[in-house]
Amino acid sequence: MEYRKRGRGRMMAEHLEARQTTAKTTKSTTTFVQPTSVIPLTTTFTPPSSCVENLLTMMPPPGYMIWANEPVPVANMTIAACYPSEFMQDYTSVSSGDVGSSVVPAMSPFVCPKNYCTMFAEEKNYIACCPSGYQFHAPETQIDSDRPAYGGTCYSDFAVKTTYPVVAYDTEGDTSSQVFSASASGAQAYAHPIDGWAATSPTIIGCPTPTPSPSSSSSPSSSSSPQSSSSSSPSATAAAVTESKGMSTGAIAGAVVGGVVGLIALVALVWVALAYRKKHRPPPPPPKTYHMGDDFANGKGESTYYRYEAEGSFMGTEIGTSGHHEKDPQFRNSELNDGHGAFEMDAHAPAELDGGAAGKNRDSKGLSNLLDKTDKARITRMANWKSG
């Protein structure tokens, strides 16, 4: 089923009425009376898993409006599984003209159900909650000053040319599975807000962890603009209402995993390259060995000298063991004086010859005495040497 701008989509919001009381009224002379039911909802309601799927309900003709998990799609039919039992206890659907309306109780004390967000807040801890991904549009005419959100509507935009599965009802309550597609911008899905008084003042208006949103959203078509900001992406309760243009969780996880794998591969490649380089690195050159050269003996004026070692094959010559290199055990102290040691010269002053003419008048007696004295001294020294 394709949305037509003047057919069954956004233009239907022009006739969306405020929530009715049980008294029968007309549009032109409606007198709103606040429902008197106040029911506590003190625990967080968790809907069954079937409620978080794409459950969009297309109302019967002539309205064809699309609601998220509509509890009363046709008269005498109630689908209450997706709502707290306290809320459905006094929920009443009222048919008025082409579109329907409802009477809902106030919750006090009030805790928003799971997958709902606080989208409206006033004094005295009064709040209104919408399904995650839906914005809130306050009523055009305030029904009760103590319940300023009562009569308002939660809404979310359809993405253009995107198909959404819906469950279509006819007036007899028969259903059929159809595909809805918005051919122009402005088509919206609606949801029922739940309002009441919380035990404490809310700290956050809107979903605390919003997901990437589609293009900006607008309020239901009316004479005034909505009081909420652009909508976030649809929640699990009506995930097919809007199209998220951001990355999905799976895509983000895939990107993270891919990045980690790429980093590991890069580190491994660097490690392999370093290991290969280390393995194939040439051995260092052997140290240079300097040998005795002629230039060292000749001297070339260099100021640096090296200590040269002999080649490994060099065999040094040791002192020979032949007899002629050793001391003769019969070493003779002196070959002079018949082996009796060195002969010392007499310390006495040498006798001078007579200075007579030509030596002719020599004193023969004096010379004889001198020779005898010398022999005696020699004999004495020899005796001393032998005795020592």
Task: Give per-residue pLDDT as tens, 114-140.
Answer: 999 999 999 999 999 999 889 999 998
The answer to whether residue 135 sits within a structural domain is yes
| Residue 367 and residue 234 share a domain | no
All residue ranges of the chain with pLDDT < 50 are 1-32, 96-99, 213-246, 296, 305, 320, 323, 325, 331, 334, 357-360
**118 contacts 112 by C-beta, under 8 angstroms:** yes
| Residue 241 and residue 335 share a domain | no
The answer to whether residue 264 sits within a structural domain is no
Separation in Å, CA 164 to CA 55, 100, 231: 10, 23, 18
The answer to whether residue 204 sits within a structural domain is yes
Residue with tokens 């022999």: 375
Question: Taking the mean position of all CA atoms in its chain, how far away is CA 135?
Answer: 35
The answer to whether residue 239 sits within a structural domain is yes
| Residue 338 and residue 233 share a domain | no
Which residues constitute the domain of residue 335? 331-348+361-388
**192 contacts 103 by C-beta, under 8 angstroms:** no
* Domains in the chain, number: 2
Task: Give per-residue pLDDT as tens, 85-117.
Answer: 999 888 876 554 444 567 888 999 999 999 999
273 phi and psi angles, rounded to 5 deg: -65, -45
Predicted TM-score (pTM) of the model is 0.47
The answer to whether residue 97 sits within a structural domain is yes
The answer to whether residue 95 sits within a structural domain is yes
| Residue 121 and residue 7 share a domain | yes
The answer to whether residue 313 sits within a structural domain is no
The answer to whether residue 287 sits within a structural domain is no
| Residue 107 and residue 8 share a domain | yes
| Domain end residue (candidates: 226, 245, 264) | 245
| Residue 340 and residue 199 share a domain | no
| Residue 377 and residue 228 share a domain | no
d(CA 204, CA 322): 115
